[in-house]
Amino acid sequence: NFRLAPKIDAQARAALLRPNPKLDRALTNSAAKGLPPISVLPLAGQHLSIFTQLLGAKTVLEVGTLGGYSSICFAEAGAKVTSIEIDPKHRDTAAENVQGLDVEVLLGAAEDVMPSLAKDGRKFDLVFIDADFDGQWELFDWAVKLTRVGGCVFLDDVVASMIKNGQTEEKSESILTKIGQDERVKTTLVPTVTSHPMHPTPVFNGFVLAIVKGH
Ligand code: SAM
């Protein structure tokens, strides 16, 4: 039934999403500025927003701002958002797109900014990682340090990164193996199938959700 994914995806988008001028303007402005169309898809953004509300998250740390699409989803769900972005053009565009919302965008590489946030004693209710596919374990490790006990780490695109990095064999040292050995967290993998406008066929992906038990 994989082939039905595009139809059901389209139906879900039409049925479940409401107009959101701020998100629409963010996408239009990001495209005009030449940013790549790789923000979370609208239903995934809605999921982030619902998840923020379910968790009652008041503080969210995001890794990978791009044009601020997902930042808007968190902020509109009632959270104060701190977002890290390595690319100055993306940061500037995001700053325009999130005007009027409680979002601060920090310019820098996450692997530098996260340790400095930890040094300042910062803790967040939710950490969302949506940056590059290669340093996911290091980013996850810092994310756990930066999450309050009982808070949550959301690591996006884990399946895509495992496929890209040849970690699909059971015996390989995959990100899942490493996370599974981490006693600080209770974790699951949530598999997803989406029909992305950029891909002709449905894409199998998935994200990791981890609740922090202790540090
Ligand atoms: N969360 C965004 C959204 O849904 O609108 C999409 C983020 S996009 C998939 C990934 C972003 O992470 C890009 O803007 C990229 O420049 C940024 N990035 C990549 N590596 C990074 C790093 N090491 N530190 C901080 N940002 C990084």
Residue nearest to atom 12 of ligand 1 (CA): 64
Among candidate residues 143, 132, 148, the one with its CA nearest the CA of residue 62: 143
Q: Which fold has domain 2-157?
A: Rossmann fold (3.40.50)
- Please tell me if the CB atom of residue 49 comes closer than 6 angstroms to any atom of ligand 1: no
Relative to the CA of 68, which ligand 1 atom is closest? 5
Looking at residue 1, its pLDDT comes to 79
**Confidence band (pLDDT; 50, 70, 90) for 148?**
very high
Pocket test for ligand 1, best of 87, 92, 98, 164 (most atoms within 8 A of CB): 87
Q: Which residues contact 54 (CB under 8 A, 6 or more apart)?
A: none
Weakest-pLDDT range from 120-124, 157-161, 167-171: 167-171
**Confidence band (pLDDT; 50, 70, 90) for 155?**
very high
ipTM over 0.95: yes
Looking at residue 171, its pLDDT comes to 80
Looking at residue 214, its pLDDT comes to 96
Q: Locate the domains of the chain by residue range.
A: 2-157
**Confidence band (pLDDT; 50, 70, 90) for 196?**
confident
- Please check the confidence at residue 3 and state whether its pLDDT lies above 90: no
- Please tell me if the CB atom of residue 107 comes closer than 6 angstroms to any atom of ligand 1: no
Q: Give 188 Cα–ligand 1 centroid separation in angstroms.
A: 23
- Please tell me if the CB atom of residue 84 comes closer than 6 angstroms to any atom of ligand 1: yes
What strands, in cross-sheet order, belong to the sheet with 124-129? 103-107, 80-85, 59-63, 124-129, 147-155, 203-212, 185-194
Looking at residue 173, its pLDDT comes to 86
Compare 56 and 197 and report the one with higher pLDDT.
56
Relative to the CA of 44, which ligand 1 atom is closest? 4
Sign of CA dihedral 78, 159, 87, 123: positive
What pLDDT digit, counting tens, does each position of 202-213 carry?
989 999 999 999
**Confidence band (pLDDT; 50, 70, 90) for 174?**
very high
Looking at residue 132, its pLDDT comes to 80
